[in-house]
Amino acid sequence: MRQLELRNLTIRYGETTIIRDLSLSIKNGEIVSLLGPSGAGKTTILKTIAGLLQPAGGQIFINSISVNHLPAEKRDAVLIFQKPLLFPFLNVAQNIGFGLKMQKMARREAERKIDRILEITELAGLNSRKIHQLSGGQQQRVALARGLVLEPAILLLDEPLSNLDAELRLQMRELIYTVQRQTETTMLFVTHDQSEALAISDRVCLLLDGGLRQTGSPEELFYSPADPEVARFFGCDNIFSSSDSFTQQAGNFHTDQKLFTIRPEDVEIFSDQKEPTSPRHAFEGTVTGMIFEGRLTRLTVSVTEKEHVTVLCRRPAFHIGQTVWLRMPKDRIHFFP
Amino acid sequence: MRGKTLLLCVLVSVTLPFLPLLLWSVADKWFYPALFPQAFGTRAWSYVFTTAGSQILDGLFTSFSLALMTTIVSLLLGVPAGRALGLYDFPGKKLTMLFLTLPIIVPPLSVSMGLHLWFIRLELAETFFGIVLIHLTFCLPYTIFVIRGVFSNYNPDFEAQARSLGAPPLTVIFRVMFPVILPGIIVAALFSFLLSWSQYLSTLIIGGGKMLTLPILLFSLIGSGDRPVAAAVSLVFILPAFLALLGSAHYLGRTGLKGIR
């Protein structure tokens, strides 16, 4: 059964069309991330699914039922906002129980559910804490618990990690992942952070220019981008054409396809022509740029005046101006379809 | 601890000016240049409680019901208006704000005199409802301004979140919006109540002397030159305002405005 299906969803804001003809379906128990640059309309899509905004066109199905005309409170979808938005006049348990109270669930049953969800989200014992006594990470977890406890057909998460610092972000990411596996809640997760999307999701949908550019497993999007723009989004600016002068040297591609890409970390770099195991396809270049990024260093190697190859490597022993040899392993090269 | 000291300072500075009133109300003889009354007595208070007792009680009742009615109406109109002005942008917003300040800018005497003619024509003069209306011209703008301030710091996403958690629109208003803006509502209600409570001129003009509110009684007593009695009635007049101040200081001191963000 399909938990969520969007058919030709179009969303306008005033005169501008933000999302055009977007179609997407999410299966039961799946965790899908909607990835895109800031301002791409990701939050708008979530709000539309949740029923807080009206689409200009298209259909939204939740549990195979069209929900276009259902108000937000009647849809079996819960949106968790970027900010925790915990009600300041309620304590932790009351905040989590808010939705259950709306469903008029019996008190004992509600308490049991609240306790269980507090356990899962590692908040046990904080039932009667006031909101302002919680840390940022705890607040975000309460917000997550408040959605999870309702066991909606689909949980919509709007950048739930963006307000947290780096370490908390990792913990929260882990937590969302484990909680999702435990509760088997179907989730649609919005983020602008590719590493978040890749780490957490079964499938990634890349949103560019108001439409889905590519949908697939994290590995597919990362290693087999559909077009140069997708590749660039994932931090790969090695886009070359097989007609480029140096590519003749780099290997005999025997193909009609023109554009190809290779991940910067897949390019091999040597200080001596004799070093590569198959020196046949090595080609020469000069290091013209070097940025230390921590774990890896980003090198820009100019092959000709206009052609540059980006290389990511660990602890490079090169300096700017040095002549180096590059090799592009054939199995790492991806031709755009 | 520091907050409590501060509160105490505020309370002392607010209550200090009333000391002479207190002394006057229990003075039997107090002539220049004596610093304190030469003779004390309960004449003024016994006048307030016995001779003029029923009149003052009536005045209290009239003033209270007028102020209460004015407060209720100004909140009923002021909360939606303040929300609209605080949260949304719409054409004519600035003009509306200017329009709202008019009754405050224009001297109350002119407003009351001008409206009096209309009220006579509409048969609203000398009626309870008419006086509520004239009080509203002063109370409503203040209420709207206070509530607008509350809403300009208010995050409507709270409401969207509640909707998404399954709360229908009315529940959102009473269970989410209302608790969040409650401190602001209390401040606005106090403003409105005290403003109506202390209206003299407009009540006199529109009421035509028929609505004997406490301020009107007070002015006639001051005019008669009996200072101890005027002082005693003044204290009766101040009492509700003072209680309201204490109550709100206690409440707002406890919760602050933290619920707003």
| A89, A132, A146: residue with CB nearest B165 | A146
Identify all chain A residues contacting B155, using CB atoms and an 8 Å cutoff: 83, 85
The backbone torsions φ and ψ at residue B28, rounded to the nearest 5 degrees and listed phi first, read -100, -35
The pLDDT score that the predictor gives to residue A48 is 95
- A220 and A247 co-located in one domain: no
In a domain, B27, yes or no: no
- A162 and A119 co-located in one domain: yes
**Quick check: B180 and A87 CB within 8 A?**
yes
Question: Highest-confidence range of A240-244, A254-258, B115-119, B227-231, by mean pLDDT?
Answer: B115-119
How many angstroms separate the CA of residue B147 from the nearest CA in chain A?
A: 19
Residue type, A311: V
* B255: confidence class by pLDDT, cuts 50, 70, 90: low
**Quick check: A89 and B180 CB within 8 A?**
yes
Angle at B69 between CA B67 and CA B70, to 5 degrees: 65
Pick the last residue of a domain from A172, A195, A227: A227
Asked if B121 has any chain A CB less than 8 Å from its own CB, the reply is no
Identify all chain A residues contacting B258, using CB atoms and an 8 Å cutoff: 88, 132
- A32 and A115 co-located in one domain: yes
Q: Residue B254: pLDDT above 60?
A: no
Strands A268-270 and A323-327: antiparallel
- A155 and A7 co-located in one domain: yes
Q: Which of B106, B178, B102 is nearest to B147 (CA)?
A: B178
- A309 and A168 co-located in one domain: no
- A156 and A242 co-located in one domain: no
Q: What is the pTM of this model?
A: 0.82
Identify all chain A residues contacting B182, using CB atoms and an 8 Å cutoff: 89
- A223 and A331 co-located in one domain: no
The pLDDT score that the predictor gives to residue B67 is 94
What is the count of structural domains for chain B? Answer: 1
A2 in the Ramachandran plot: left (φ > 0), alpha (ψ -120 to 50) or beta?
Answer: beta
The pLDDT score that the predictor gives to residue A279 is 60
Q: What CATH number does residue A47 fall under?
A: 3.40.50.300
* A161: confidence class by pLDDT, cuts 50, 70, 90: confident
DSSP secondary structure, B36-80, as one string: S-SEE-SHHHHIIIIITHHHHHHHHHHHHHHHHHHHHHHHHHHHH
If one counts every other C-beta atom within 10 angstroms of the C-beta of residue B78, the result is 27
Strand order in the sheet with A323-327: A268-270, A323-327, A283-292, A297-302, A308-313
The pLDDT score that the predictor gives to residue B257 is 43
C-alpha distance across the termini of chain A, in Å:
31
Residue type, A276: P
The pLDDT score that the predictor gives to residue B51 is 80
- A221 and A246 co-located in one domain: no
In chain A, whose CA is at the least distance from the CA of B171?
A: A102
How many angstroms separate the CA of residue B149 from the nearest CA in chain A?
A: 19
The pLDDT score that the predictor gives to residue B31 is 85
Q: Which residues pair with B79 in a beta bridge?
A: none
Q: What CATH number does residue B207 fall under?
A: 1.10.3720.10
Identify all chain A residues contacting B180, using CB atoms and an 8 Å cutoff: 87-89
Tokens of A239: 């886009």
In chain A, whose CA is at the least distance from the CA of B183?
A: A89
Report the residue of A49, A74, A75, A81 to disrupt the B interface, i.e. the one with the largest count of B CBs within 10 Å: A81
Q: What CATH number does residue A331 fall under?
A: 2.40.50.100
Domain extent at residue A283: 236-335
- The answer to whether the peptide bond before residue A329 is cis (omega within 30 degrees of 0) is no
Identify all chain A residues contacting B162, using CB atoms and an 8 Å cutoff: 87, 98
Average predicted confidence (pLDDT) for chain B: 87
DSSP state, residue B126:
T
Tokens of A16: 């501008």
Contact A287, A300 (CB under 8 A): yes
A21 in the Ramachandran plot: left (φ > 0), alpha (ψ -120 to 50) or beta?
Answer: left
Alpha helices in B88-212 (DSSP H): 93-105, 108-121, 128-152, 157-164, 169-171, 178-197, 201-207
What is the count of structural domains for chain A? Answer: 2
The pLDDT score that the predictor gives to residue B141 is 93
Contact A269, A325 (CB under 8 A): yes
Tens of pLDDT along A12-48?
988 899 999 999 999 999 999 999 998 888 999 999 9
Q: Which residues pair with B56 in a beta bridge?
A: none
Query: Which helix or strand (DSSP H or E) is residue A219 part of?
Result: helix A218-223
Report the residue of A85, A105, A156 to disrupt the B interface, i.e. the one with the largest count of B CBs within 10 Å: A85
Q: What is the ipTM of this complex?
A: 0.85
How many angstroms separate the CA of residue B158 from the nearest CA in chain A?
A: 6
The pLDDT score that the predictor gives to residue B261 is 33
If one counts every other C-beta atom within 10 angstroms of the C-beta of residue A326, the result is 22
Give SS3 for A54: coil
Q: Residue B242: pLDDT above 50?
A: yes
- A7 and A102 co-located in one domain: yes
Tens of pLDDT along B75-134?
999 999 999 999 999 999 999 999 988 888 888 888 889 899 999 999 998 999 999 999
- A195 and A97 co-located in one domain: yes
Q: Residue A147: pLDDT above 80?
A: yes
* A275: confidence class by pLDDT, cuts 50, 70, 90: low
Considering only A96-105, A184-193, A243-252, A327-336, which range has the smallest mean pLDDT? Answer: A243-252
- A161 and A279 co-located in one domain: no
Asked if B165 has any chain A CB less than 8 Å from its own CB, the reply is yes
Q: Which of B42, B48, B36, B17 is nearest to B237 (CA)?
A: B48
Domain extent at residue B237: 54-255
* A102: confidence class by pLDDT, cuts 50, 70, 90: very high
Average pLDDT of the residues in A138-165: 90
- A255 and A216 co-located in one domain: no
The pLDDT score that the predictor gives to residue A162 is 83
In a domain, B173, yes or no: yes
Report the residue of B165, B257, B258 to disrupt the A interface, i.e. the one with the largest count of A CBs within 10 Å: B165
Report the residue of B161, B176, B180, B257 to disrupt the A interface, i.e. the one with the largest count of A CBs within 10 Å: B161
Contact B89, B241 (CB under 8 A): no
Average predicted confidence (pLDDT) for chain A: 89
